[in-house]
Amino acid sequence: MTATDPALTALANGWAALSLLHGRIEAHVERALQSGHDLSVREYSLLDVLSRQHDGEGGHLQMKQVADAVVLSQSATTRLVTRLEDRGLLARYLCPTDRRGIYTDVSAAGLKLLGEARPTNDAALREALDEAAGNPELAPLVKAVESMDAPPA
């Protein structure tokens, strides 16, 4: 295989298209969330992930799991949690069974903001995908994204 191998070129082109689609979607959603709710995409994602926790077995996430879910390093996730905690949107507390563990929950204010921001996020995502579907290079990727949540035929 050489650097000009058609298979490698196709793979690189596919990766570039995926990166372009991600960047366009993220920028569009970011603008909508910032202007409508003073939230970044990362902040929204963190609130969304943490809001899905429950009191059952394995219902609370450790910081590494949260970091993986929002695609950030553990240190960046900790800083993000601190910022949202300072805004009153999150609260940290000690794990009742392991005093070394610290959990993070979304506060009532955080749940309210998340509920207000969710329609904005969803609409901006739909708009970004619809716009990208008009680009022949991105259209197959849009179809793939849309089919991921579709029920099996």
Q: Which two tokens stand for residue 119?
A: 């329609």
Digit-coded pLDDT (tens) for 59-79: 788 888 899 999 999 999 999
For residue 110, what are the CA distances in angstroms to 60, 95, 143?
17, 20, 33
Digit-coded pLDDT (tens) for 97-135: 777 778 899 999 999 999 999 999 999 999 999 999 999
Q: Which has the higher per-residue pLDDT, 150 or 17?
A: 17
Digit-coded pLDDT (tens) for 9-41: 888 999 999 999 999 999 999 999 999 999 999
Tell me the residue type at 43.
E
Helix axes 108-133, 139-148, angle to 10 degrees: 140
Q: Quote the pTM value.
A: 0.86
Q: Which two tokens stand for residue 15?
A: 């990766």
Q: Which two tokens stand for residue 27?
A: 């920028």
Q: List, in order of start, the domains of the chain with CATH numbers.
A: 7-148 (1.10.10.10)
Strand partners, 83: none
